[in-house]
Chains A and B, each alone.
Chain A
Amino acid sequence: MVASASGPWPWYVAGPAIGLFVPALLIVGNRLFGVSSNLRHLCSAVLPSKLDYFRYDWKRAGLWNLLFAAGILVGGFLAAHWGTSHDVAISEQTRLALTRLGIHDFSGLAPREVFTWPALLTLKGFVSVVLGGFLVGFGAAYAGGCTSGHAISGLADLQLSSLIAVVGFFAGGLLATHFILPLIL
């Protein structure tokens, strides 16, 4: 049991576990599961601004969520040191497709050719980390939520706006995967 818990979880454990954060946060304090609000709270907290969008009591509205995000970081650290690490066992087809694009290191959570500090100075590193991060922040703020707020919480509450956002997430993801990544990798 301990041995199986230390490896990657099967989908039928992972998915329901993720879903349970929605009722857990509602029951603890009426909070809606969603991580990207933290980007707004952080801007509000650290970048003094006259912009209406950032003028609110971030501690009252978002301290809980900033602690949740800090917890995510700690949880990632604990999980990384719990059990042995394995390559992410992606399908052979994906491995082949990525090899053709020039990815050869499959040993981490993300390819080291792209996601290291020195790689920031390469086109692929810069576009993936700097531009990609920027689009994640801008897009999540514009859409009013990210994967957790729209794809999980919003869909679970049967909100049409979240369904539109999720269709957008996949449209953008497919475009980037099939038309942008082949140009930069």
Chain B
Amino acid sequence: MSTELAKDQKAVGQAQSPTGIALLAYLLLGICFGITLTKSEVLSWFRIQEMFRFQSPRMYEIIASAVVVAAASVALIKRLGLKTVSGEPIAIPPKNLGLGIRYAVGGTIFGLGWALTGACPGPLFALVGNGVTVMIVAIGSALAGTWLYGLLRPRLPH
């Protein structure tokens, strides 16, 4: 096992098992996020097309303001040294840059899929809820893609 994989494995299994009430909170936050994806229309193939054709600033305004709000919140959390509701210190593990190949190549492959389906993973789930049930097939395909990555991972440059 490569050290990078070991590190990744550690990061993914590091967190404590959440309590029942926290699990309920994640479900409720997910519901809020599904509503947000729908009401913001970012789950729409049409909006994604409009974005990649640079024909409306809307998607860029949404992404940029989301990043600004998230960044300000993260900065504030770090600065104030806020803890989680159960008193753990909040820490964001830095991503391992490595050669950067995985981000450039993986990112480009993801982008091809993003424009073809018109949806990234969050919206895929939200679209199923919205009645675009054929996206169940897209989720199944995405699972197959993830599995193939797991198979090829030792041979891919990262």
Q: Do A and B come from one complex?
A: yes
Q: Which of A15, A94, A141, A162 contacts B69 (CB 8 A)?
A: A15
B47-75 interface code vs A (CB 8 A; 1 in, 0 out): 11111110111100111111111110110
Which residues of B have CB within 8 Å of A67? 23, 26-27, 30
CB contacts under 8 Å to B, within A96-134, are: 97-98, 106, 108-111, 114-117, 119-120, 125, 127-134
Q: Which of B29, B42, B104, B126 contacts A28 (CB 8 A)?
A: B29
Q: A68-B29, A79-B38 are in contact. Are A174 and B52 (CB under 8 A)?
A: yes
Q: Which of B1, B9, B120, B156 is the most central at the interface, judged by chain A CB atoms within 10 Å of its CB?
A: B120
Q: Which of A32, A91, A133 contacts B145 (CB 8 A)?
A: A133
Consensus secondary structure, chain B interface: helix
- State whether A139 touches B90 (Cβ < 8 A): no
Which residues of B have CB within 8 Å of A52? 1, 5, 9, 150, 153-154
- State whether B30 touches A29 (Cβ < 8 A): no
| Complex CA distance for A142 and B152, rounded to whole angstroms | 10
Which residues of A have CB within 8 Å of B52? 170, 173-174, 176-178
CB contacts under 8 Å to A, within B101-123, are: 102-122
Q: Which of B17, B63, B68 contacts A151 (CB 8 A)?
A: B63
Consensus secondary structure, chain A interface: helix
Which residues of B have CB within 8 Å of A141? 106, 145-146, 149-150
Q: Which of B32, B62, B145 contacts A139 (CB 8 A)?
A: B145
Q: A8-B41, A91-B56, A171-B111 are in contact. Are A134 and B121 (CB under 8 A)?
A: no
Which residues of A have CB within 8 Å of B64? 15
B contact residues, total (Cβ < 8 Å): 124
Which residues of A have CB within 8 Å of B111? 139, 168-176
Which residues of A have CB within 8 Å of B130? 76-77, 79-80, 109
Q: Which of A29, A142, A156, A175 contacts B149 (CB 8 A)?
A: A142
Chain B positions within 8 Å of A, measured between CB atoms, are 1, 5, 9, 12-15, 17-18, 22-23, 25-53, 55-58, 61-71, 73-74, 76-77, 82, 84-86, 88, 90-97, 100, 102-122, 124-135, 137-151, 153-154, 156
Given A37-B12, A173-B51, A173-B112, list of 12 further CB < 8 A pairs?
A19-B68, A23-B74, A31-B26, A51-B151, A64-B26, A76-B38, A76-B128, A115-B132, A131-B116, A137-B143, A140-B110, A181-B116
The 10 lowest CB-CB distance pairs between A and B, nearest first, are A71-B30, A75-B34, A168-B107, A172-B111, A76-B129, A139-B110, A137-B145, A142-B106, A135-B113, A15-B65
**What are 13 contact pairs spanning A and B, CB under 8 A?**
A9-B36, A22-B74, A39-B139, A40-B146, A47-B143, A49-B150, A55-B9, A61-B15, A65-B26, A67-B26, A72-B129, A131-B141, A175-B111
